[in-house]
Amino acid sequence: MQLDELYREVIMDHYMHPRNQGQIEGDALSIDLKNPTCGDEITLQLHVEDGVVQDVRFKGAGCSISMASASMMTEAVRGKSVEEAMKISDEFRKLMKGEEANEELLDDLEALSGVCRFPARIKCATLAWNALDKTVKNSEKGE
């Protein structure tokens, strides 16, 4: 099996069987974002306790890249400190720009590396990550 085929399988698995989809009951930071270019939308919720992402959930509608990326993001940051989650987000953005990224930090997110060859799809892949970044920044500002 070629690497491209494996990557496609990982993306389609997350799209068809999204992880951490739904809503957090109780205290959670929340944000709604929409990609006006294509209509993808996401509601992201984070439950952070003692600086650690205890739970992360999303609801949304969009293309396979957008929804798979959201599912993969939730898997990548759950149980991590907010600082670690932001480092993963930074590395993911490098990956989307076609830059050298820390593969060890990215793990399965590497499957989305091919997206950088399609500039119009980068916004799809980064929608959930933008939601994560904005949620963390809003919480730091006390919003």
Tell me the per-residue pLDDT of 97-134, one tens digit each, with 9 for 90 and over: 999 999 999 999 999 999 999 999 999 999 999 999 99
Reported as a single tens digit per residue, the pLDDT across 7-56 is: 689 999 999 999 999 999 988 999 999 998 889 999 999 999 999 999 99
111 token code pair: 């499957």
Length of the chain measured in residues: 143
Which tokens hold the place of 40?
A: 């993808």
Q: How confident is the model at residue 143 (pLDDT cuts 50, 70, 90)?
A: low
How many domains, the chain?
1
- Amino acid symbol at 105: L
**Would the pLDDT of 136 be above 60?**
yes
Query: Any idea what the CATH number is for the domain that residue 37 is in?
Result: 3.90.1010.10
106: nearest Cα among 79, 136, 85: 85
State the sign of the Cα–Cα–Cα–Cα dihedral 117, 93, 101, 125: negative
Q: What residues pair up with 43 in beta bridges, in sequence order?
A: 32, 59
Q: Which domain holds residue 31?
A: 3-141
Predicted local confidence at residue 50, as pLDDT = 95
Q: What is the DSSP string of 68-129?
A: HHHHHHHHHHTTSBHHHHHHHHHHHHHHHTT----HHHHGGGGGGGGGGG-HHHHHHHHHHH
60 within 8 A of 50, measured Cβ to Cβ: no
Q: Which amino acid is residue 37, in one-letter code?
A: T
What pLDDT shows up at residue 1?
52
